Structure 1
């Protein structure tokens, strides 16, 4: 359903909303390489970056395990952690990346040929669409905002090549699954447990790629052969 195609609605014509896995900023050199790769295609595609929580979110989780946080405290802290990831990533190339906390800013930045990095906490608090739970992460949040922006494709960038039949960080025999239905997603995958149900209800697909394999990512964006997993809602 493309409501923005309706007469008198604004179509942002977004090619990709890219959820940036927070783990991808753990290695600064590799994160800089990713930023540079995305910068190279800023003029070819209308991209929006949606940041994950990253190391800051991990610290919040470690505190919660030692001293149980109030659910509102944890929710607000994690949303602001996503902002911090976005701010840090944008700083790798401020000539191309620009942060914003609203959709008007997304449109304005795109129209100038740059890549908006959406700092989501303000919209998360304003719209209040998510339960305050560890069960939902920035994967599903990114999918939700991608659906609101009506992007052509939603991508999750992580530190593995896609969806596997077992944890590739624990098993040397783990096999990549190039295409998988939401009904077949295992609880051990690299995406959160809420994502499959959201994709099914929203009738949207999702693609999972390794954010550290820059050429492969650019090939995917350009519609060329690439290593990835497609999560299909059907």
Structure 2
């Protein structure tokens, strides 16, 4: 079951966003529940103090007390994998949203069209993260690694070295062969010898891809522009 939170100090807007979210869940044939908050402080309290869990949060940026931007930054340590959709009237926030690894930015003047698309994309991504696995099978070994747990894959001689939340696994295959077997758009080359899972990229800075596990991986100059474009496309971080 997917858990969604809607936070907007405007009660009518919050209710409207809740109804859009529920329609999107039905259209995606997904089961979920939606909680509504009209105070950003209450949302933060429930997450930080009462350990509420959410998969997706629809967050208005311009709110009294803690702004949506501040709330997003404070929420991340408690819910590092949560998908956040910012809703705002101000275009300049999109740049800061990218630094916070926000899933999508939705302008209020186009909310009827953009918000449903953003929610549906988030739901599909959450389901993808929860489902697929990569299998390593030899005569003496069978290992399944969930896609969502894979951080990056590097070439190590004739092996591909897979770094995941569970540890490091090696498979005697070329990097390209593993890439083709994965067959998922969230995995991208950042260098001829390294593939990264985009769901774990927190930011691209100074030619490095910084991952959620703290690892910073160099992006080759020849790949840098393409990597930025792929991340923007994948996360929908365009205005």
Q: Would you call these one fold, judging by a TM-score over 0.5?
A: no
TM-score computed with the length of structure 2 as normaliser: 0.27
Report which structure shows greater RCO (CA 8 Å, sep ≥6).
1
Q: TM-score, normalised by structure 1?
A: 0.27
Larger radius of gyration: 2
